[in-house]
Amino acid sequence: MIKAQAAIEFLMTYGWVLLSVVMVIGALAYFGVFDVSRFIPDKCEISSGFECVDYKIAENAIILQIKNSAGTDFYISRLNYSRNNEPLCNWTGAFPMANGDVHQFTTFCLIGRDSAKQTIKLELEYYKSPLSRHLAMGELTYKVEGVQTGLGDEEICQRAQVGGLCCALDFYFGPGTMNDCCIAPDPQGYCCGATC
């Protein structure tokens, strides 16, 4: 009887201690103290003569600023992003980049809410000539932050000009949009001068 009572008292005493330890560990995990992604460094790497100047991963977009360090001119035709081997989103067009040029590509897609760091794979397709398709691979690691606002007028004009979509601007954004692009070209000189 005395041994049984001592065993029950032992279990009750150390059971409360064990329960308290589990609760403290649970609370620390809940508040992100054990979040190992905090220790993963931010990075942006792209192969084959590209330099990642700046980048951001937002809840609804990936913003990537690229420099052409290849020593030659080329056209960027596609940026494919994937996460955990699943396609995430892509940017398509035919954007010319002279050697040394820097350009920012904003690709809108659903990344998720503010969270721990994300690692996103990049496949960049480019052409040095119409017959020379090349691929550059890359990887972005960054914490998801906030929501990226929509395209500005300047970027809308630029993308329409590069993608040959000037004639569709009035349809998508309202009458007169194409003419506005012609009146105020962006800093790189893109202006929708198409006859529709």
Strand order in the sheet with 50-57: 50-57, 61-68, 102-108
Q: What is the pLDDT of residue 79?
A: 92
List pLDDT tens digits, range 57-92: 888 888 899 999 988 898 888 999 999 899 988 888
User: Which residue has tokens 């308290």?
Assistant: 20
What pLDDT is recorded for position 182? 72
What's the pLDDT tens digit per position in 137-148?
Answer: 999 988 888 777
Q: Give me the pLDDT at residue 171, please.
A: 61
> Which long-range CB contacts under 8 A does 150-156 form with residues at least 24 apart?
151/106, 153/180, 153/181, 153/184, 154/184, 154/186, 154/187, 155/106, 155/186, 156/181
Task: Let me know if domain 39-143 sits in CATH 3.40.50.300.
Answer: no
Quote the pLDDT of residue 185.
Answer: 54
Instruction: Print burial letters for 105-127: b (CB count within 10 Å at least 16), e (below 16).
Output: bbbeeebeeeeebbebbbebbbe
Contact 108, 148 (CB under 8 A): yes
**Burial label, 157 (beta-carbon count in 10 A; 0-12, 13-18, 19+):** buried
Kindly list the averaged pLDDT for each block of 10 residues, start to end, along the chain of length 196.
72 76 78 63 86 88 90 89 90 85 85 77 89 90 78 70 72 68 62 71
